[in-house]
Amino acid sequence: MIGRIEIRTTGRGLREITREVQAAVAESGLVEGLCTVMIQHTSASLTIQENADPSARHDLEQWIDRHVPEGDPHYTHTLEGADDMPAHIRAAITATTLSIPIADGRLALGTWQGIYLWEHRRRGSTRRCVVHIGG
């Protein structure tokens, strides 16, 4: 089964999408298999991260801001704004596709794990993900 989910972002940051992906798994009726999620954008990414303590997400965002800053004079791709090229780099060094096993009809995530869409642009956008569920 292939499904699609759309997520509205309001700007940079990690937005949990575990519920949306789990809903697609439930809708498929598959009890055991694999769920693959791919984001259809080059300036946002996906990650599995702690969903209990928001300070972990805050620290990740601060770390990436320090290591992939805006305003690098070496960037040549600048027509879409100062945050565009850093967003592409951030997406390139993180992940655009995740695969999560399905067990007993549920995503086999750990106790403190959640699936996150990581928006790398300052402005919000509607992001599309393709969800493939197979057994």
CATH value at residue 109: 2.60.120.460
For the segment 72-96, the average pLDDT, to the nearest whole number, is 96
pTM assigned to the model: 0.95
pLDDT at 34: 98
**pLDDT confidence of residue 83:** 96
pLDDT by residue (tens digit) across 8-61? 999 999 999 999 999 999 999 999 999 999 999 999 999 999 999 999 999 999
Please report the pLDDT score of residue 64 as a whole number.
Answer: 97
For the chain, the domain total comes to 1
Q: What is the pLDDT of residue 129?
A: 98
Taking Cα atoms as reference points, which of 3, 25, 19, 17 lies closest to residue 135?
Answer: 25
Q: What is the dihedral of CA 106, 112, 114, 120, to 10 degrees?
A: -170
Close Cβ partners of 34 (under 8 Å, ≥ 6 residues apart): 99, 100, 101, 102, 133, 134, 135
3-state helix, strand, coil in the chain (%, to 5): 25, 35, 35
Domain of residue 112, residue span: 2-134
**Which pLDDT score, from 0 to 100, does residue 1 have?**
92
